[in-house]
Amino acid sequence: MTERQKSCASLGAVWVLLLVLAALRPMAVPDEGRYGEIGRWMLQSGDWLVPRLNGIPFFHKPPLLHWVNASLMAALGAQVWVARLGPALHAGLMLLALYLSVRRMDFGAGERAESLARRAALMLGSSLAFLIGGQYINHDMLVAGWIGVAIWAFAAAFVGSDSGGRADRGPWVPRPGLALLGFAACGLGVLSKGLIGLVLPGLVLFVWLLWTRQFRKVLYLPWLRGLLLFALIAVPWFVLAERRAPGLLAYLFGDQQFNRYTATTFNNGRPWWFYVAGLFLLLFPWAFFALQPLVARGFKRPHAEPPLTPAARVWVALAWIWLVAIIGFFSVPHSKLIGYALPVMPALAFLAALGFEQGLGRWRHAERLFKALLVLAVGVALAVNLAATRYTERRGTADIAAVLACQMGPQDTVLAAGDFPYDLPFLVRLPQAMVVVQDWDHERQSAKDNWRRELFEGANFDAQAGQRLQGLDALTRAAGQAGQWLVAPNDQAVSGFERVLRGQSWTLYRSPSTQAGAGLASCRR
């Protein structure tokens, strides 16, 4: 087997492992239930323009994830593992972009780039960032994948620049094909999660070009074609969706992006060092090898690799700037989520692989150590996947969803009270939106950054869909009608309904006059 064949087999193996883990874990709440259901509803309703949660507009993020999920479900069915396939494909894209980028770098030795590329890919592919983050249904892996492609493509275009056939320009013209790929990736990044799909690659490349004294090359980018390509990808949805739901742009870019970045009132407040610690967790145990240059200054390493070539130092500078700029950007806001660190994983994996080879590359037991750490990394991912499974089973609605799917009829109504069962609509494949019962007048005055605010802010864009949000008297009316089902947390007091099943966290009820029906297509008897 050639070195390249070994690399292809390694990339394929870790991606297959990712798919296996994705098929084993139940749907987590709230994120996976929320985003999986938005894609399913998009397919069921036929409305591919306005993402909807429980039939209510949901404009927290642009729609690429939902388009991908709905398309995959159209081909493969509305299953949990299918909803995870979109993020998994983008995790594979991140892995492939890392491998292809590193293997084309100039390290001054024929086989070294291939070996380093495979090692970096295995480090990333065996990490929690890939094996857990790569199967989680949300927007983070999508935008991380496209940010990575954008940075690698633009950087390769600049490093591989030439005169473009004009002697007066010198080696300043970026390769247009790679540059256009970078523009396209930025457009897809914006469609994945908004402005960070453009801002973060721009920030990294701006600092890197200044640092490496290449900024003059920016003048020779194919700006007209690139911006046109970016606009064709990124702009149409925002224009059409704003026409359908006036105020969308102010809400998405103002409330959901700018205000979340600058305010301190949103959930998930964390200290400034949160992401620094998160890097060592997401790329455990490999991230420690990225510190090798710092260690090498204090200790002479007898098995160290030769110094880097000047061309390689340019890529190392890119990786460090990539890492520091993005982690610094996300460390500013009060609200922090571990998934926001995913865009820097390719850079960290490259630095870790390089640190491993520089520090241990000539040690005769280096490959044995690498394989042992590879087994450890995969073992940690398996343990985390198992722990996540048990955690989810205690908090999700899978137990009552299985009963509801086999007893309700297609025209029956499902009500939710006390909390919002994010995973239930997807698991049951509800044909209609649920009626969500709360004191909504009170919630509009007092709700914080939670599911209640998600729903009533979305209802502001569609008053008819907002009729699914009803007051507490809806329970009294439903209790006297047939075809009415109620789901509520176990600690929620319920009267007027008959209990069907008490699950681990949720209880299923039906009105006294409701009879078990033939069930839905999702029933598994």
- Tokens 């493969």 identify what position? 76
**Residue 302 and residue 5: Cα distance in Å, rounded?**
31
Distance (Å) of CA 511 to CA 95, 278, 427, 469, 523: 51, 48, 22, 19, 21
Pairing of β 506-510 and β 498-502: antiparallel
Task: Tell me phi and psi for residue 195, to 5 degrees.
Answer: -65, -25
CA–CA separation, 384 and 281 (whole Å)? 11
Question: pLDDT value at position 305?
Answer: 54
- Say what the alpha-carbon torsion angle 321, 324, 330, 334 is, to the nearest 10 degrees: -150
Q: Spell out the per-residue pLDDT of the chain, length 525, in tens.
A: 788 898 999 999 999 999 999 999 999 999 999 999 999 999 999 999 999 999 999 999 999 999 999 999 999 999 999 999 999 999 999 999 999 999 988 776 556 789 999 999 999 999 999 999 999 999 999 999 999 999 999 999 999 765 444 444 556 789 999 999 999 999 999 999 999 999 999 999 999 999 999 999 999 999 999 999 999 999 999 999 999 999 999 999 988 887 777 766 566 778 888 999 999 999 999 999 999 876 655 445 544 555 677 888 899 999 999 999 999 999 998 888 999 999 999 999 999 999 998 888 778 888 999 999 999 999 999 999 999 999 999 999 999 999 999 999 999 999 999 999 999 999 999 999 999 999 999 989 887 888 999 999 999 999 999 999 999 999 999 999 999 999 999 999 999 999 999 999 999 999 999 998 889 999 987
| Orientation of helix 80-103 relative to helix 3-24, angle to 10° | 160
Q: Pick from 149, 129, 116: which is nearest to 289 by CA?
A: 116
Q: What is the pTM of this model?
A: 0.94
Alpha helices in 212-252 (DSSP H): 223-244, 248-249
